[in-house]
Structure 1
Amino acid sequence: MTVPRSTLRLQLHSGFTFDDAIAGVDYFAALGVSHLYLSPITRAMPGSLHGYDTIDYTCVNPELGGEAGLLRLAEAVHARQMGLIADIVPNHMGIAGSDNAWWLDILEWGRHGAHARYFDVDWHSPDPALRGKVLAPCLGAPYGEELAAGRIALSFDAAQGRFFASYGEHRFPICPVDYPMILRGAAHGEHPEMTALADHFEGLTVQPEQHPRARAAQEALRAFASTHGAKPFDAALAGYSSNATASRERLHRLLERQFFRLAWWRTAADEINWRRFFDIGTLAAVRTERAEVFDAVHALALRLFAQGVIDGLRVDHVDGLVDPREYCQRLREKLGERESERPPQLDGSRAYVVVEKILARGEALPNDWGVDGTTGYDFMNDVSALLHDPQGEAPLTATWSELSGSARTYAELAFEARRKILAENLSSELDRAARGIHRIAREQSATRDFTFTAIRRVLAELAVYFPVYRMYPHNGSRTAPDDAYFRQALEGARRSTARGDHAVLAYVAASLGGDGRDGEPRSAASALPNRERRTAATLFAQVTAPLAAKALEDTAFYRYGRLLSRNEVGADPGEFALDVDAFHAANLERARRFPYALIATATHDHKRGEDVRARLAVLSEIADDWTATLRAWSTLNAPHRRAFGSAPGIDETAADRAEVLATSEMGSSIDAVSMSTTGASMAGRAAAASQAGLSMACTPLPGPTPNWAPGPAAEAMLYQTLVGAWPYGLEHTDAKGIQAFAERIAQWQLKASREAKQQTSWHAHDEAYEAASRAFLFDILAPQRRDGFLRELSSFVARIERAGAINSLSQTLLRMTCPGVPDLYQGTELWDFSLVDPDNRRPVDFDARRACLVDTPPSEQLRNWRDGRVKLGVVHRALTLRAVSPALVLEGSYLPLTVTGPRARHAVAFARQHGDAYAIVIATRLASSLISESGDVPLVDPAAWGETSITLPPPLAGRALFDCMSPAAPKADGAGRLYLRDALSALPVALLVEEGVPHG
């Protein structure tokens, strides 16, 4: 099997191609990476910056350099004994524009198309207007308005010989059955030759056997156009112009006959009749569960694996698939069939496969999927929680309750967000699931009177209370882990539904894989055939998975701001901290079940960069100081809050249309009104504010926010973001640097406010609120504030930055040495103060990183720690150890080590053992109270550790150890005690090995 020692994720797009990656291969190899982990390489929507909107699974994206470019990259990495892992997107395809041939086929021919069964379309919609059609919710305004305005037009593509309806960038092919009518309209005028062309299509039907004839007829149109030009066809199109009432009505009737129904984008949430990726109307779910679709989707990846070009796959959004277990097992089987075709030097090696999967605390990835683990969100959660001080939870919770004006917990906010998303964004998905279960109920006399509405009601409650992303039933029945989670949902639904609905609830519970165990009411559903039970469970999962993602990560995370470092993908903001014992337990479980899973601290989907989170974690250690600082800043900046209301003169549909047809960038402006400041300290201002009854927790007006922007909760989260993302080396007097920083924060602020879906949202912009919020940001960061808020902000960051850097170095070393395969996200080997995408996908200067890579110990870079070279050094030295002693960290045992003494809670330590070889890992945590105020490096004074020590494994007692990170050679005493004042004298982390084990 090809097991990576480590991976480095690269985000490929037209601005960073395979050839650009080749230019960095020497650096990646020198860093110690064993495999490059590539974002999706299949052809995506033109200009895609991420590749997850695949439009053609059969070819390598030409914008990246095509297959030739991929082969060049493979040759370059193989020459350095490295490999490639590719990200695949089997769940959905991009369908915007006119580039997806599979999707265009079903728009043209409906359920008679060759690819009609490739997409999850409900061709039997209860809406008569959608039966046999695909809803196309792409219009920026209601259909009638767009038709009357002439923005929907009939066009002709001379290169393809096809008629289509056009709207902006979108193209909708007209069914060839209607071509005779269009062509004959021109034949009665100046172009009688169109009659002959119309005859080619006469008598054509939609049946599949007629499609070759239609293609031949379209070829005749193409040939005619190449000879005679487009003018004859212009005459045909004129009969469907929107300029006159009669021709516009003719166009409408033509469109109504097609296999698509053009609609305002707002209709999607309630009426869409095909499965999307989450609530995104430009990404259509693919039916990979069908054998022919699976083969078409994976043919390229399987071939590249067989040829030795790639060594493994990362499966995107596995929870979106109908049956993840069955899918993963089939993928493993198909890859296994191709192993013997691999080049001889690869020895028929087994493919490395990981899945993108969010695991809740205590939730386990099933063992029977045949994969090597997840992509590492679970570890990212564990290591981040480890760096938080549990003593800060109560005061920060109280502060947030005051600031937000609500004592609601994160769990309560999450329930509220789930209800909102289910009602406003995923209503059609809920309808579809309820209809499926209702159809099953109608087939039995005992349940035929359970109405659709009642089933929908109870199904909604089950979805709202379901605590994880989804179930994974086996043969139509819930597994034991599924059942435990389902019963939590069932209890919540029982509490929230009327007693009269409990019989329906019992039926739905049983139909979703139940069997009457543990006191569950038995019903007719218990005897349902497995096929119907599997169908019901699948429909339920297709509600709960997108609901969890949209309600939690994309809504509640932007509403709850107790401490934003815990609002991360894969984490539960309600879980504040993790103690050392729990961290060890999670690592032991990973080592036992999935020793080769990826472990990450940054990804292309993270909400905040790894070093932003590490710095913000320090606030948990100084909760009272942070509360006082918030109050002071609130008072200081109160004059810059902006009143807002409904923006007069805004045409909502025009704004919608602009959102659909084009993306505009809001211009920036900085209010020139200066604010007078005083020399009072923050504590003094906080006290004055308290005496005056002022705080950020102003009494809000009815509604989601007060009538000033950005509002108390959003303002509190803004301050955390400013503190967390402030780059090292940025001076508060650097006007140009502050301007660039403010633009980045403004981009985050806009996204955060829209994701919160309270005052504004992606679907309904409150432009007045957004503009006022942006003005507030630029006001408080204006150059004239350099001796006021900017100085205060910079000074506060300076207070906590060393503790934050210690956290960063600790989580870096832990990622490199804990059980699993460490994944390095592009560029994060230096400090990573990025925010949510697209900020975390900015170009990376690999040349600069190459110049920073040296062979000297990282401890020598500590004095210049702000440039990030010390972090790069930790990465490099740890990866070097993995390269020279791969068995030690890939296959070695994980041995938690006991820390004792006065500062025991401030360190975490463990050993990796393989045979007689050991590596000892020590990392500092919760360092804020240990750092000398007079120091300037991120290091605890060795004397501050006192008698704190770790107990080494018995074989190491009295033996010399060498630190891979520094010249130190600490030695344990005869009792096996290694004192931290010796081990952590040069850096806040240590990676100790015995003499004879290479250590850099």
Structure 2
Amino acid sequence: MTPDRPGPAVPPPPTATYRLQLQPDFPFAAAEAAVPYLASLGVSHLHLSPVLEAVPGSTHGYDVVDHARVREELGGEGGLRALSRTARAAGLGLVVDIVPNHMAAVPRHNRALWEVLREGPASPYARWFDIDWEAGDGRVLLPFLGGRVGDELGHLRVDGDTLRYHEHAFPLREGTATLPLPELLDAQWYRPAWWRLARTELNYRRFFTISDLIGVRVEDPEVFDATHGTILRLLHEDVIEGLRIDHPDGLADPGAYLQRLHEATGGRWTVVEKILADGERLPAAWPVAGTTGYDALRHIDGIFTDPAGAGELLGQYRRFAAPPADRGGDWDATVRRAAYKVVTHELAAEVDRLTRVAAAVCAAEPALRDHAPWTLRTALRELLVRLPVYRPYVSGGDAPETVLTTRAADEARAAFTVPEEAAAVDVVRDLALGRLRASRALGAPGAREAMAEFRARFAQTSSALRAKAVEDTAFYRHAPLLSAAEVGGAPERPAVTVEEFHAYGARVQRDWPYSGTVLTTHDTKRSADVRAGISVLTQCPGRWADLLVELTEQTTRVGSACAPDPQLAWAAWQTSVGFGFPYDTRLRNALLKHVREAGLHTSWTEPDEAYEKAVEAFVEAGPSGPPLYAVASFAQGLDAHVRAIVLGAALVHLTMPGVPDVYQGTESEYRALVDPDNRRPARFPPHVLERLDARSGRAGLTALADLSEQKLVLTAAALRLRRRRPELFGGAATYEPLAAEGPGAAHCVAFARSGEVVVAATRLSLRLADAGGWRGTGLALPPGRWSDLLAPEREFEGHARVAELFATSPVALLERVPEGEPLSRDGRAETADPGSAAPGEPV
């Protein structure tokens, strides 16, 4: 969509964003009230969750029902504009999350879907939705009935021109309202059906396996314009300045979509929620600033994880929980087993559609005929479960062999007993990679379109499969180190060397300097501070083993406190150590979600009531009962080392290449578990920063004993520095690794930004203490005098002793002092530009 007139100049990229999770209990007005605090914190932009009209009561906003309106429950467009004005007056811009892939499949709220269900394929809105009309005999399957339709007839009633079923409402096709109910149902453009039929009969694309979210065809230019018009108008009217794109892997052609969006926005700052596998690269051709930052999360967490200890925990886990290799004992086998389950059950309808498309291509090409549908389906299944990434992006520059390897093809062929039938693997692989070339005989109408459709749908299905098999299943089955079971994580290799981290940082600075970086999001399964409390176990696996023995003895003495299975016990105690207090329904709910997602003993669709009651009883008498005192005592003994991880990870995140996104509340100590726990409305205590500024004074972090206060002061110092001197962190900036020297060198991670800022953090502090401390380890600083912004009275020069650098804190944030200039009380040169300070920030 191109605006009728040129919009304002493209604003500069953010220096840092602050994510606010909007919902009816935290609308635009609440965000507006938080602006003074967030401006004083030092961010440049507020990052808002989706703002368009969503299902009433939605606490996340990803279930959009109307792209033309700003959500009324949040305050409508007037509320958004008021927030924008207030933010702009404080020097802040707005970045908004948009959802191009899907809408809520709730007809009574989704007018476009309502019209399609009423008028069928002839509706002008029919092109909006990814519906396979042929597969459903010309009708859309609506899997919302609680039982088989024959058993639910008594709950279906006609109300004028509407069919009602409990809270659901569906439009009636014109002229059918007076028909007897069975005939009326058969006369509609849709088929109300038992919800379980979605697995095999669904004929519309959805978000992952969620039938309540229907896929949108933004590849159609008219649909793109209709679904992006309001957001683009707000961009060109300068109400918002940048975009976060939710789930681009679900689109038919993400690259083409992003190019169209780039042209329509005039090049506004845009990041994509692309989950990159370990070692995978973002397609270089995409016209975006980068990812939303899960790749950064994996690298930051990795440098604060001990590889040897992670290996010891894996061995302990296998002995304690005794899971078979394919049920959590081995990562690769666990992922493969989970993928088989998802592809043959939850995604059966999607695989059937792919099979039909592949069969149509084969039927139209003489050289490919006589491939039986079952062989194509088998080949599809075997190749899909072997994809090591969320979605193959050959157009991004990767060679085909890196996304669908010859080894994967060889393994897929082994599923066939007759070699000739295994040839279906090559057909499917070539179709998926766009290698299949049609002969001149391929003249059947739509055959070439079918080839293009197959490639797109294969990629869409692979991303859904990977997300469900890895994020939503294997992460809950393979639990030796729960802090590594995070979106974008690599549980099979949780630790990252300092050299690997520096290589990653240099690559981001070179290729994607304005890419997003995160530590906690609305989708992380555990907040960064919870993960810190768990990853510290890699530094003391022996202590963890002793704690497990003590806890097992305590719970064994009380029958109701016994865990229903050892895998759950391991995960529950690890979660308890990381989560800390309070132990209440939040922990119980997270563990119930854990066992349902794992799907080993119970699940969302086939719940085992007896097992789930046993889980609740265990949580009540175990982690929430008397054993919590042993857990608390254990955690207290590790407090200083957890603090080192929390502060180190926060500082590295805020100063490394990229644009840091601070999730609501994480500037202070923030312990949250999987959603919905991590999506609770934000609360901002008034004047907290002013009080801390006054208390910390020249002493910095040393004046603050509380972790929340220390983390807040650290966050403000780093963010204010980024805002005050953006040239040190932007596209023209540099990233220089610094290496410590001496016996403790491996425990220091340090780097310089543009020769003017030095960042240093302690890593694996417990291992360091066990080894005898720093023992003369030094860090050569770039030339000049350096002031620590976290303890402004401290200066360093030349070859700094690391023990002195970290004498009062496990982290240091140094800024070069201009020659001959005295320092202000907060460590900045007295000549700093007063105009650069945000409202409420000392100058």
Question: Does the TM-score normalized on the shorter chain lie above 0.5?
Answer: yes
Shift, 1:580, TM fit = 0.2
CA distance in 2, matches of 1:495, 1:573: 28
State which of 785, 803, 807 in structure 2 corresponds to 1:981: 803
SS at match of 1:854: helix
Partner of 1:463: 384
State which of 283, 296, 299 in structure 2 corresponds to 1:366: 283
Cα separation, partners in 2 of 1:60 and 1:858, compared to 1, 3 Å:
farther
Cα separation, partners in 2 of 1:306 and 1:534, compared to 1, 3 Å:
same
Q: Contact 2:432–2:459 (CA<8 Å) still a contact in 1?
A: no
Shift, 1:854, TM fit = 2.1
Shift, 1:931, TM fit = 4.8
Shift, 1:81, TM fit = 1.6
Q: Match for 1:492: what amino acid? A: E
Shift, 1:640, TM fit = 4.1
State which of 482, 487, 493 in structure 1 corresponds to 2:412: 493
Higher RCO, 1 or 2 (CA under 8 Å, sep at least 6)? 2
SS at match of 2:211: strand
Partner of 2:712: 872
CA distance in 1, matches of 2:455, 2:124: 28
**1:615-641 C-alpha deviation (Å, 9 max, x unpaired):** 111100111221222122122212445
Aligned: 1:602 with 2:520:
yes
CA distance in 2, matches of 1:830, 1:482: 45
CA distance in 1, matches of 2:18, 2:89: 17
Q: Contact 1:6–1:821 (CA<8 Å) still a contact in 2?
A: yes
Q: Match for 2:146: what amino acid? A: G
Shift, 1:742, TM fit = 2.5
Q: Match for 1:393: what amino acid? A: A
**1:221-267 C-alpha deviation (Å, 9 max, x unpaired):** xxxxxxxxxxxxxxxxxxxxxxxxxxxxx211111110111111111
Q: Contact 1:510–1:525 (CA<8 Å) still a contact in 2?
A: no
CA distance in 1, matches of 2:661, 2:567: 34
Aligned: 1:950 with 2:779:
yes
Partner of 1:385: 302
Aligned: 1:854 with 2:714:
no
Q: Match for 1:153: what amino acid? A: R
CA distance in 2, matches of 1:639, 1:814: 45
Q: Contact 1:358–1:570 (CA<8 Å) still a contact in 2?
A: yes
Aligned: 1:839 with 2:843:
no
Partner of 1:896: 737
Q: Please list every run of 5 or more consecutive structure 1 residues that lacks an aligned counterpart in the other structure.
A: 157-162, 183-249, 337-349, 517-521, 643-670, 672-707, 728-736, 933-939
Q: Contact 1:641–1:710 (CA<8 Å) still a contact in 2?
A: no
Shift, 1:575, TM fit = 1.2
Partner of 1:298: 228
SS at match of 2:159: strand
Q: Contact 1:900–1:950 (CA<8 Å) still a contact in 2?
A: yes
Cα separation, partners in 2 of 1:62 and 1:853, compared to 1, 3 Å:
farther
More displaced, 507-516 or 272-281? 507-516
Cα separation, partners in 2 of 1:837 and 1:525, compared to 1, 3 Å:
farther
Q: Contact 2:23–2:681 (CA<8 Å) still a contact in 1?
A: no
State which of 433, 436, 452 in structure 2 corresponds to 1:513: 433
Partner of 1:967: 792
- Aligned positions of 1:292-371 closer than 5 A: 292-336=222-266, 350-371=267-288
Q: Contact 1:98–1:169 (CA<8 Å) still a contact in 2?
A: no
Aligned: 1:775 with 2:617:
yes
- Aligned positions of 1:712-727 closer than 5 A: 712-727=566-581
Aligned: 1:742 with 2:742:
no
Cα separation, partners in 2 of 1:496 and 1:479, compared to 1, 3 Å:
farther
CA distance in 2, matches of 1:155, 1:587: 61
Shift, 1:524, TM fit = 6.9
Aligned: 1:905 with 2:825:
no
SS at match of 1:971: strand
CA distance in 1, matches of 2:434, 2:212: 35
Shift, 1:311, TM fit = 0.5
State which of 296, 299, 314 in structure 2 corresponds to 1:397: 314
Q: Contact 2:700–2:792 (CA<8 Å) still a contact in 1?
A: no
Q: Match for 2:676: what amino acid? A: P
Q: Contact 2:54–2:61 (CA<8 Å) still a contact in 1?
A: yes
Q: Contact 1:324–1:472 (CA<8 Å) still a contact in 2?
A: no
Q: Match for 1:824: what amino acid? A: V
SS at match of 1:392: helix
**1:883-924 C-alpha deviation (Å, 9 max, x unpaired):** 1111012232000011111111111001111xxx51111001
Q: Match for 1:854: what amino acid? A: D
Partner of 1:252: 182
**1:249-295 C-alpha deviation (Å, 9 max, x unpaired):** x2111111101111111110111000010110110000000000000
CA distance in 1, matches of 2:397, 2:89: 46
SS at match of 1:911: strand
Q: Match for 1:871: what amino acid? A: K
Partner of 1:440: 361
Q: Contact 2:283–2:397 (CA<8 Å) still a contact in 1?
A: no
Q: Please list every run of 5 or more consecutive structure 2 residues that lacks an aligned counterpart in the other structure.
A: 1-9, 829-843
Partner of 2:150: 144
Q: Contact 2:698–2:793 (CA<8 Å) still a contact in 1?
A: no
CA distance in 2, matches of 1:853, 1:552: 42
- Aligned positions of 1:245-284 closer than 5 A: 250-284=180-214
Aligned: 1:759 with 2:601:
yes
CA distance in 2, matches of 1:766, 1:504: 39
CA distance in 2, matches of 1:51, 1:985: 46
SS at match of 2:787: strand
**1:700-756 C-alpha deviation (Å, 9 max, x unpaired):** xxxxxxxx84311011000000000004xxxxxxxxx5xxx2311101011111111
Cα separation, partners in 2 of 1:866 and 1:164, compared to 1, 3 Å:
same
Shift, 1:307, TM fit = 0.2
CA distance in 2, matches of 1:469, 1:858: 49
**1:378-415 C-alpha deviation (Å, 9 max, x unpaired):** 00010001110011132111111112213431111000
CA distance in 2, matches of 1:527, 1:562: 53
CA distance in 2, matches of 1:526, 1:514: 18
Shift, 1:369, TM fit = 1.1
Q: Contact 1:857–1:964 (CA<8 Å) still a contact in 2?
A: no
Q: Contact 1:970–1:982 (CA<8 Å) still a contact in 2?
A: no
Q: Contact 2:310–2:481 (CA<8 Å) still a contact in 1?
A: no
Shift, 1:331, TM fit = 0.3
Aligned: 1:85 with 2:95:
yes
Q: Contact 2:744–2:768 (CA<8 Å) still a contact in 1?
A: no
CA distance in 2, matches of 1:995, 1:257: 79
**1:486-507 C-alpha deviation (Å, 9 max, x unpaired):** 1153243234444343211111
Partner of 1:649: none
Q: Contact 1:877–1:964 (CA<8 Å) still a contact in 2?
A: yes
Shift, 1:366, TM fit = 1.1
Q: Match for 1:359: what amino acid? A: L
Aligned: 1:558 with 2:562:
no
CA distance in 2, matches of 1:632, 1:504: 55
Cα separation, partners in 2 of 1:850 and 1:961, compared to 1, 3 Å:
closer
Partner of 1:665: none
Q: Match for 2:402: what amino acid? A: A
Q: Contact 1:742–1:781 (CA<8 Å) still a contact in 2?
A: no
- State the Cα RMSD in Å: 2.2
SS at match of 1:178: coil
Q: Contact 1:852–1:869 (CA<8 Å) still a contact in 2?
A: no
**1:623-677 C-alpha deviation (Å, 9 max, x unpaired):** 12212221221222124455xxxxxxxxxxxxxxxxxxxxxxxxxxxx9xxxxxx
How does the TM-score come out when normalised to structure 2?
0.92
Cα separation, partners in 2 of 1:743 and 1:852, compared to 1, 3 Å:
farther
More displaced, 900-909 or 507-516? 507-516
SS at match of 2:596: helix
SS at match of 1:871: helix
Partner of 2:372: 451
Q: Contact 2:365–2:441 (CA<8 Å) still a contact in 1?
A: no
CA distance in 2, matches of 1:138, 1:305: 37
Aligned: 1:813 with 2:811:
no
Shift, 1:533, TM fit = 3.6
Partner of 1:47: 57
Shift, 1:851, TM fit = 6.3
Cα separation, partners in 2 of 1:527 and 1:829, compared to 1, 3 Å:
farther
Q: Contact 2:643–2:707 (CA<8 Å) still a contact in 1?
A: no
CA distance in 1, matches of 2:673, 2:456: 34
Partner of 1:173: 171
Q: Contact 2:698–2:792 (CA<8 Å) still a contact in 1?
A: no
Q: Match for 2:505: what amino acid? A: N
CA distance in 1, matches of 2:143, 2:440: 36
SS at match of 1:719: helix
Q: Match for 1:982: what amino acid? A: E
CA distance in 2, matches of 1:840, 1:304: 29
